[in-house]
Amino acid sequence: MNGEPNMVDERKSVVVTQKFFDGETIRFLEENGCDVTVARFPEGVTDATAGEAELIALLAEADAWIVGHAQVTLSLLQALPRLKIVARRGVGYEKVDLDAARQTGKVVTIAAGGNEESVADRTLALMLGVAHRLRESQQQLIDGPGAILLGHDLYARTVGIIGLGRIARNVVRRLKAFDATVLVHTPRPDPAYADAMGVEYVDLDTLLERADFVSLHAPFKPETKHLINAGRLALMKPDAFLINTGRGGLVDDRALLAALQEERLGGAGLDVFESEANPALADVTRELVRRPDVVATPHSGASTHEGLRRTNQVAARCVVSVLNDQEPPSGCLIVGHSRLRPVY
């Protein structure tokens, strides 16, 4: 691994509660003065579903925690006085109580730069899969006689991108190979980027009205909950496709289901669902994923061998840097202390 920080002064304890943590990254941590424990949960249990008492027991002697999707609360952090850093192996941090981290003096980092290529690939895969009706076509072959279904090109179509972070920019770069017209809605337009990439900044309603594909890459915040609701779905073309590899709560899934049922939308490619945060909507998710005009994956856009190795490595570099009181890699620091200044 390149750009390795200096070894910590004395051995530290790092606990990993995320699955698919590779041996190369474990060796990097060990070579940099860390003893690594990878938690083993029972079948069907993850750090997101483990109880707080179980997490506290695992982390009681930890100096650093590489976390997946656990809810990081004030009570949890207060019970872990030794813990110095919570390192997300991913880029979302909505499950971490940032005020609690500040109050308890913990550092919070994300694995910026680790997974955007993988999620961008998944975004294009969902666009192509739903537009070319791959799921329906395969089912035709399974059921026989294999009738030919007409789909839609991505080539030379208009694609609307909502949000312009790392993943979105990688999606835009890929779309240029399809000769797509790219519309972007973002609160912070960058004229130089528009000139370089040939994108057009537009307001949200205009994007929804003009786009053949709408792809969501905005962060999930209270103000972006249900950014795509019944009213905004009604603005979209009846043969347009909605793609969500961002966060489930960005879309009102009930409204999306109704739009598909009433044939007011061409289809959807979904890697995330509202039911991830609200289990009461599990029935809505089940209805969505059963539909022939939906191509769905289980929030696994970043879950490639290569992508997970990259995010593991970024999280590990964050841990070693912070344990040395050094700045973590660029763009990774969310909550710091007096010597570590966050970038967000």
Catalytic residues: 247, 276, 299
With tokens 């290569």, the residue in question is: 306
Q: For residues 88 and 302, is the Cβ–Cβ distance under 8 A? A: no
Max CA-CA distance within the chain? 68
| Residue 296 DSSP SS3 | strand
Q: Which of 21, 8, 18, 11 is nearest to 65 (CA)?
A: 18
Compute the distance between CA of residue 328 and CA of residue 43 in angstroms, rounded to an integer.
34
Q: For residues 32 and 5, is the Cβ–Cβ distance under 8 A? A: yes
Residues with Cβ within 8 Å of 171's Cβ and at least 6 positions away in sequence, in order, are 120, 123, 124, 161, 215, 217
Task: Report the side by side order of strands in the sheet with 34-38.
Answer: 34-38, 12-16, 64-67, 85-88, 107-109, 333-335
